[in-house]
Structure formats: C-alpha cells, structure tokens
Amino acid sequence: MDQNEMKKYDMPWYDWAVFAVPALFFIGLGIESALGPSPADGVIHRDFRAIAHWFDPVFFQYNLVMALLTVLVVPSLALSYIQAMANRKERRLQNEVPPERRAEVRRRMGRRASFSSYRGSVWLTTTVVLLGTSILLLFKPVSVDGGTGVDFGLGANMLIMGPFAELYEKNPDAYYSHLIRNQIAFQFGFLGAYVYFVGSVVRAYFTMDLTSHTFVDGAIRMIVASILALVLSFAYDFVLPGDVPSVTRNVATADGGPAEAPSASSPVSEPGDKQDQSPGMEAALPANLSLLPIVAFFFGFYPKRASLALERVALKVMKNIIPGDGYRALPLSMLAGMSYSHELRLEREGFDNVENLSNADAVDLAVRTCFSYPQLKQWIDAALLASHLREDYPYFVRRSGLSASEELHYFLSACDAHNIDGVQQLVAALSTDPAEATSWKLRLTALKILLDKNAADNKCSDAEGSEHRPGQIVSLGVGLGVGERSP
C-alpha cells in the first residue's frame, strides 16, 4: 500500500466530530421527546429541549430521523469519495497526461487523498444544512399566548419582517400573516438550494469531481438562495396582490374554556350566511399564496438564473441612468461539446469565457475538474482558435471543418510538406469576395506564423527538459500536442 493509499485511511479522531455532533444533537432531542418531562408536567424549558415538546412525539421523532439523514449526507459523501473514488481519478489521469507531467499529477492528487483537505468545507456545509433543516422540519411559529412553539407574539427581527414590523401593534393579524409568508419563502428557498446541492454533489461523486469547492459552493448557494427568496417575498403582494387572510384567535374565558374572539379583519356575518361554518374557517387563503412555495423553490434551485432575470429587469428600468458596458468576451457555449453544466463547472474554476480558457493548462484543469485531459485539451485548443477569429469562428468551422488550432496547424504543416499553399486553400473555401478574401488571408497568415513560432518554442523547451508555464504565449502549445503524446 503506497503513501496515497495510506492517507485516505488516516483520519484523526476529531474529524469524526462532524458525524458525532449532529447525531448527538438529534438523538438528544429524540430522547427528550420520549422520556423528558413536558410542559404539561409543569416543566418549562428555555433551551433547545423545548423543541422536543412542540409536536406529537412520533411525528417529531420521524422528523428527527429525516433531519439527521439530510445532514449526514454531506460528510458521508465526502468520506466515501475519498475512500473509493479519489484513486480511480488518479489512475485515469496517469493514463491520459503526458509522461513528463505524471509526477505532478501524483503529487497533487496525493493532497486530495485525505479528509483533512475537505475538513473546513465539510464543516461549513454541514453547519448550514443543520441550521436550514432545523428551520424547515423543526420550526413551529405560534402567535397566541400559551402555544407550544416560537412565540412571535413577542416580536420578530427586521430580517424576517422588514417594513412589516410596524404592523406588530397596529394589525397583529396582518403582522402574523406576513411573518408566515416570509418564513415560507425562506424555508422553501433553502429547500430548493439543498435539492440542487444534493444533485450536484451526486454528479460530482460519480464523475470523480468532488472537491472542497463543491461543498463551499453548495453552502454559499443555500445561504444566498434563502436570503434571496426571503427578500423577494417582501414584493410578493406587489407582484401578486391579494387579501391578507384573517386569523381567528382563541382567548380564555372566565371559566377557563376557549372562546372565539373575532379579529378586527374578520368579516362580519350577513343574514343568510351559513351558520354551521366551523370556527377558524371564515376566510380562505388567497389562491396566489399557494404559488409562494413554488416561486421560492425556483429561486433556491436556480439562484443564478433568478438573479440574472432580476439584473436584466433592473437594467431595463435604469437603462437611461446606467450606460452600457463594453464587455465583449466570447461565451464558452460556442465551443463544441460545451453544455450549461460544463460552463458552470469551468466558471467555478475561474474560466468564464473563451479568452480565459485559451490560457488554461489542460493538466491543471484535469486535476481540478471532472473533465478528461483529452477533452480539456480539445476545448483549450478550440478556445485558442476562437480567441483569434472572434465572431467569425463558427463560420470558419462550418466552411473548413477545422475547429481547433492543433487541427489548423497540422493542416498547414501538411500543406507545406507537399508544397501546397494551405492559406490560399482555406481562403478559397471561406470567401469569394475579393475584400473579404484579402482580410481572411492576412488573418490566417498571421495565425500560421504564431502557431509555427510557438510549436518551435515548445520543441526547444522539450529539448532542454523544462516545463512550459501556463499563462504565457508559449501556452499556445498546450493544445498543439507537440511532445505531449503518451506512448
């Protein structure tokens, strides 16, 4: 067993705390629910033990099991990936990368073969999921004195209520209604982000791309999506106006029995109304309120698209105030084989356009992402050609069939070997207009010179035994395949 194999089994005792702390918390609540004294016995808890007596014991314990499984998904997948998948990725890369880069791959993959490289990100994500799941499954707001739950009759903070905080004394029923709406938006925003996070982690697990960045990205997504859904819930009544549902409160009578006290917003009974209507059913919830969880879930599942939609709306509103920018970078979507999920993955590594990707190192990205070395090499090569041809790149690919700088270099080299003017051959296929043909000839001639120069520089570097450095012009040779073919 080599050193990397030993690392994945070398896990200090304190790393197991990420499993033990949530488990002990939920198990303790379960024991308190089953065996602890309840408020009916005259015992009032002023800490987390009070949560155990807010619900029916069986229902509460079922929620605890779901919450525990939801939280333990995070560290369990990280540990399972280290044990089973990390070495598989290293073996795949060893077969794909050039021989002179294999030692680098082994060294860098060795750092990922232990739980310590995931410790901070796993703790962060586990904490976020623990807090969000507790609010989603264990949270119970109440608005009447003597209820079992979080007594919002004492008030709420500005984050939850925002401008509706002034309703606390003016209109308690409307205050409680807005509070419930904001809580629903926050909870379902978190739920949408968590569902997306689980899907992305599972995908990263099976594509051998589960890194610490995956967990940090998921934690930030859950935080941002929850807050975004909460903030947008303040504008819900403005977008979908509706009546605030009336809330029937029960107050104690002199003999201790409950007596119904209609709120100020309750409708007044008219002659002919049904008298057998059950208490608390005078007013139905607005139909548009049922859309709130769906909208909040959408903002949680697609926070980037939701924020992009908001940005476009804001730019249209303020187009006369904010001048347009001059951002002209080429999108990654113009490269063959690039999907939306691939764009998001490369963007997470800092490559959000064609120009950035053209300066990337294929071996470096192969270690950091799920993509194979040949695929990254092809994309970087295509990005290099696209960065030179700009908006004419798709047209060039359609007319010539050459999609990467490596292919173009081989074509021109083969033409030179047979005393054929390769540039003229391409110009004839691209345009028959004399003005356009002159422009294409100049651009292709300049590109041929750059490719030949960098191919020669790479040969000199290989002869001297030195490695190329990404980010310089010499990195054009990353996609040229010069001296990079595995035996």
Q: How confident is the model at residue 324 (pLDDT cuts 50, 70, 90)?
A: low
Q: How confident is the model at residue 475 (pLDDT cuts 50, 70, 90)?
A: very low
For residue 10, the model assigns a pLDDT of 64
Percent of the chain with pLDDT strictly greater than 90: 20
Q: pLDDT tens digit string along 73-109?
A: 999 998 888 888 777 888 888 888 888 888 888 888 7
Q: How confident is the model at residue 246 (pLDDT cuts 50, 70, 90)?
A: very low
Q: pLDDT tens digit string along 157-169?
A: 777 787 777 777 7
From the CB of residue 354, how many other CB atoms can be counted at a distance below 10 Å? 25
pTM over 0.85: no
For residue 132, the model assigns a pLDDT of 93
For residue 375, the model assigns a pLDDT of 92
Burial class (CB in 10 A: 0-12, 13-18, 19+), 403: buried
The CA angle 346-348-353, to the nearest 5 degrees, is: 50
Percent of the chain with pLDDT strictly greater than 70: 76
For residue 282, the model assigns a pLDDT of 45
Q: pLDDT tens digit string along 444-470?
A: 889 888 888 877 766 666 555 544 444
pLDDT higher than 60, residue 241: no
